[in-house]
Structure 1
Amino acid sequence: MKPLSRIEKLPTYVFTKVDQLKSEYLQRGIDIIDMSMGNPDGHTPAPIVEALIQAAKLPQTHRYVKPPKGIESFRSAVASWYEKNYSVGLDVDSEIVATIGAKEGISHLALAISEAHDCVLVPSPSYPIHTYAFLIAGAQVDTFSVQSEQKMLVEIKQKLESNKQIKAIMLNFPANPTGHCVEIGFFEEIIALAKHYQTWIIHDFAYADLCFDGYCAPSILQVKGAKDVAVEICSLSKSYNMPGWRVGYMAGNVNLISALTKIKSYYDYGIFAPIQIAAVEALLHGDEYRQSICDIYQQRRDVLCAGLQNIGWPVQAPKATMFVWAPIPERFSHLDSLEFTKVLLDKAHMVVAPGIGFGEAGDHAVRFALIESPQRMVEAINRLEAFIRSTRAVDFKEKRIGAG
């Protein structure tokens, strides 16, 4: 048989690899504290669930969704959400399309706009789909480092000047996995660069609502003229504890929204209508739920970061997202992130996401997802402290060399 070359080029997905690592321990009945995948553990608020149930009882909602870009009430709710939170006006018919979560929207947009000679600029480290959506679509990918705003702008400008084939710039702030945040001035500069070099901007805004300590993440669409070159994609997964519902939306530039809508018309018939109706309930009436969920993540962030710092693992508390990005402690710096993840699983019976899963620039760190209760996090800290105190880093260095 002929090889499946496109699939064979893809590495094993980071969370698949982590699941494979922990499955043996679970089968042995070992209690594993799992903070690897950003899979919200809370329940979807009851009124949202009830809206789904009532809508699902209506026979007319069981058919294909028309139009595929999303029912009008959902798109109107998205427009209302942007107006209320960011004073951004959106045309319901031409500037919004419903997506089956953020990953689907990014992936299908990549397929719609990418050609073999195109290059897309992606942050590193970054969520895997930001890179692989474009590689799967046949484009080339170049990266820029996630660092200070000014350094990112300088590096992005240098890349744009040296490579005229850059079709789009992928952004994600607040960022997964690092929790890195930017201010509106960064978006103003990046929009100006995009217009000057005639490139598109795609901003993943999945963590818009999970902000702490008074920080409010800006929308790129707040920038005057942003819709000339940019789209923004959001998801209800994290904001309303709706990850399994697979509902999100993309908003912004008419041409990109049209391209995504057109290609989706070939690949899918949109989201099950009752899910969209339930999402309307979330967007229009979910401020209280959203704030409550955000408060839970902030409490968990505080417990985890304080605990790690107390046992001598210096981490920076993020201003947003549901993740803590933790550079590998110096005494274990001879281990790469996957090896260190294996050590934590074996010695502390806890699972984190190895930084290599987010690109080579992430191989010096691991990512904690805030998906365990504060009590379980305290238990995780206690396990880590016992492990660190009882183990010399050189033990692992010698074991690694001996394993040859």
Structure 2
Amino acid sequence: MIFSKKMDKLTSAIFSQLSDKKNKLIAEGAQVIDFSIGTPDIPPAPHVIETIVKESSKIENYIYSINDTDELLSSVQKWYGKRYGVNLEKDEIVSLLGSQSGFAELALALVNPGDIVLTPDPGYPIFTVGPYLAGAKIVKIPLLKENNYLINFNAIDEETAKKAKLMVLSYPNNPTAATAPHDFYVKLVAFAKKYNIIILHDNAYSELVFDDTEGGSFLSIPGAKDIAVEFNSLSKTYSIPGCRIAFAVGNKEIINQLKTLKSHVDYGMFLPFQKAAISALEGPQDYVQLVKNTYRERRDLLVNGLNKIGWPIDNTGGSMFVWAAIPPKYKSSLEFTFDLMEKTGVIVVPGSSFGEYGEGFVRFALVQNKEKIAKAIQNIELSGILEI
């Protein structure tokens, strides 16, 4: 059989390699502490679970939900207005079956073969994969530690900027956990308008911002809605990743293009999940604070603990990740990842899997409880892996 040549570049072996190594260690009797995949371990709010159970028992909900219900759109409107001070019309909102599929769909709706798309490096893989599947020419923009992992607009070649169709970015950022200040977004709007570039901002971690800093929406910046759409997900905020509930909001012309494409490739969100989204957005929001506090406590324990044993790590501004430079004796993040796994049972993701500029780092997902984080720190200290 002859398959699409596009598939050749989609083979990412790292997670299967980590899984194989993990299973081997477990079979040998080792205990592992897995910080690799960012799957929330915090239970969803009880009222959200109750809504799913109740609505899933109704026979009438097992139909094609071709369109978002008016009730769902109203909930997103109210939530964006209350939470971010952003006023949305209903034709500026469309649900997604998770942000990941949304990235691919939006790229297919907007990008012609050969169009230039600017993506961050390091970056979440779908930021690049979506445009790649649409036939885009990918230009990766370095996110550097010395620039607080913010895009340096002045470093983007002007000819490239003039030809660019779309820019994808995300703050709080995965994998670097960086956050962006208000003035960065002001510059982003000016840059996008100057060069006529569409902006796709992934705002999946807007509620997971720490140290007395409040997360926001890019669309709150004057002029942003003229050139942008924003993705927002309930997966991490409300710990319901398996429901695949997300939204694209913003410029109505872009949203309309996305709706048209989606009408050909999916039949909309399962009605009980639409009800669950409404329950989450309109229900008690103290659960969100609980989630935020849990990740902040885990971040503090991990970062402070690793610093204490001789692994210097910068604090994390937001998201559910910690981005850590590997010990200087290692030249490869992949080599360090597997050495760490073998010697300590601690599983992380090598930064190189997020792009060229991720080399030299590893990513921790804060998906283990405080007891396991403490155990991981102890294992690392006793292993001697940090010794020069």
Distance in 2 between residues matched to 1:217 and 1:210, nearest whole Å: 7
| Aligned: 1:257 with 2:255 | yes
Q: Could you tell which deviates more after superposition, 170-179 or 16-25?
A: 16-25
What is the alpha-carbon distance in structure 2 between the residues aligned to residue 29 and residue 51 of structure 1?
41
Work out which of the residue numbers 108, 111, 133 in structure 2 matches 1:114: 111
Report the 3-state secondary structure (helix = DSSP H, G, I; strand = E; otherwise coil) of the residue aligned with 1:11. Answer: coil
* Number of the residue aligned with 2:321: 323
Structure 1 residues 179 and 150: alpha-carbon distance in aligned structure 2, compared to 1, 3 A threshold? closer
Contact preservation (8 Å) 1:160, 1:166:
no
Q: CA deviation at 1:188?
A: 1.1
Question: How is 1:148-167 mapped onto 2 (pairs within 5 angstroms)?
Answer: 148=147, 152-155=151-154, 158-167=156-165
The alignment's TM-score, normalised by the length of structure 2, stands at: 0.96
Q: Answer whether contact 1:337 1:356 (CA < 8 A) is retained.
A: yes
Unpaired segments ≥5 residues, structure 2: none
**What is residue 48 of structure 2 aligned with on the other side?**
48
Deviation at 1:138, TM superposition (A): 1.1
Alignment of 1:130-169 (within 5 A): 130-147=127-144, 148=147, 152-155=151-154, 158-169=156-167
Deviation, structure 1 residue 376: 0.4
2:235 alignment partner, SS class: coil
Q: How many residues align?
A: 386
Q: 1:105 — aligned with what? A: 102
Q: For 2:162, what is the secondary structure of its paired residue?
A: coil
Could you tell me whether the CA contact under 8 Å between 2:66 and 2:263 is conserved in 1?
no
Say if 2:149 and 2:176, in contact at 8 Å, map to a contact too.
no
Kindly tell me: are residues 14 and 261 of structure 1, through their superposed partners in 2, closer, same or farther at Cα, counting changes over 3 Å?
Answer: farther
After superposition, residues 189-268 of structure 1 pair within 5 angstroms as 189-268=187-266
Is 2:2 the partner of 1:2? yes
Q: Does 1:363 align with 2:359?
A: yes
Q: Which moved more, 1:139-148 or 1:238-247?
A: 139-148
- Matched AA of 1:56: S
- Counterpart position of 1:396: none
2: CA distance between counterparts of 1:360 and 1:6? 20
Asked if 1:350 corresponds to 2:349, the answer is: no
CA contact (8 A) 1:146 1:180 kept: no
Secondary structure of 1:41 counterpart: coil
- Given candidates 83, 92, 95, the residue that maps to 1:95 is 92
- How far 1:151 moved relative to its partner? 6.9
2:125 paired residue among 124, 128, 131: 128
Q: Is 1:33 paired with 2:30?
A: no
Query: How far, CA to CA, are the matches of 1:140 and 1:42 in structure 2?
Result: 39
Q: 2:363 aligned with 1:372, yes or no?
A: no
Give the alignment partner of residue 173 of structure 1, picking from 171, 176, 183. 171
For residue 76 of structure 1, report the CA deviation from its aligned partner: 1.3
Q: Indicate the residue corresponding to 2:61 in structure 1.
A: 61
Task: Output one character per residue of 1:67-100: Cα deviation in whole Å (capped at 9) or x when no partner.
Answer: 1xx22211211111110011110001x1000001
- For residue 245 of structure 1, what is the amino acid of its counterpart? C
Q: RMSD of the TM alignment (CA)?
A: 1.7
C-alpha distance in 1 between matches for 2:44 and 2:164: 40
Structure-2 change in CA distance of 1:180 and 1:56 (3 Å): same
Distance 1:13 1:111 in 2: 25
Please list the CA deviations of residues 90-129 of structure 1 after superposition, one character each: whole Å capped at 9, or x if unmatched. 001x100000111111111011111112011011101111
1:160: how far off?
4.3
* Alignment CA distance shift 1:151-1:320 (3 Å): closer
Query: Are the aligned partners of 1:355 and 1:365 in contact in 2 as well (CA < 8 Å)?
Result: yes
Contact 1:144–1:155 (Cα < 8 Å) also in 2 = no
Aligned counterparts of 2:321 and 2:30: Cα–Cα separation in 1: 25
Aligned partners of 1:237 and 1:14: how far apart in 2? 23
Query: In the alignment, what sits opposite 1:86?
Result: 84
* Residues 386 and 256 of structure 1, relative CA distance in 2, 3 Å threshold: same
Give the superposition deviation at 1:350: 1.1
Instruction: Give distance in 1, aligned partners of 2:226 and 2:13.
Output: 34
8 A contact 1:149–1:186 mirrored in 2? no
Deviation, 1:221, is: 0.2
Q: For 1:185 and 1:229, locate their aligned partners in 2 and report how far apart those are by CA, in whole Å.
A: 17
Question: Match of 1:307?
Answer: 305
- Give the partner amino acid of 1:365: F
**CA offset digits 1:206-229 (Å, max 9, x no partner):** 000111111112311001121110
Aligned residue type for 2:313: V
Q: Calculate the TM-score normalised by the size of structure 1.
A: 0.92
On the 8 A contact 1:183/1:218 being kept in 2, the answer is: no
Query: How far 1:149 moved relative to its partner?
Result: 6.9
| Secondary structure class of the residue paired with 1:308 | helix
User: Shift of the alpha carbon at 1:57?
Assistant: 2.1
Question: Are residues 4 and 210 of structure 1, via their aligned partners in 2, closer, same or farther at CA, if it must alter by over 3 Å?
Answer: same
Contact 2:150/2:180, CA 8 A, preserved across alignment: no
The CA deviation at 1:161 is 3.7
1:27-82 deviation digits (Å, cap 9, x = unpaired): 33321100011110111111001011111222221100031xx2221121111111
**Shift of the alpha carbon at 1:279?**
0.9
Whether the aligned pair in 2 keeps the contact of 1:174 and 1:321 (CA below 8 Å) is: yes
CA contact (8 A) 1:182 1:217 kept: no
- 1:56–1:361 Cα change, 3 Å: same
1:189 Cα shift?
1.0
> For residues 53 and 249 of structure 2, what CA distance do their matches in structure 1 show?
27
CA contact (8 A) 1:153 1:190 kept: no
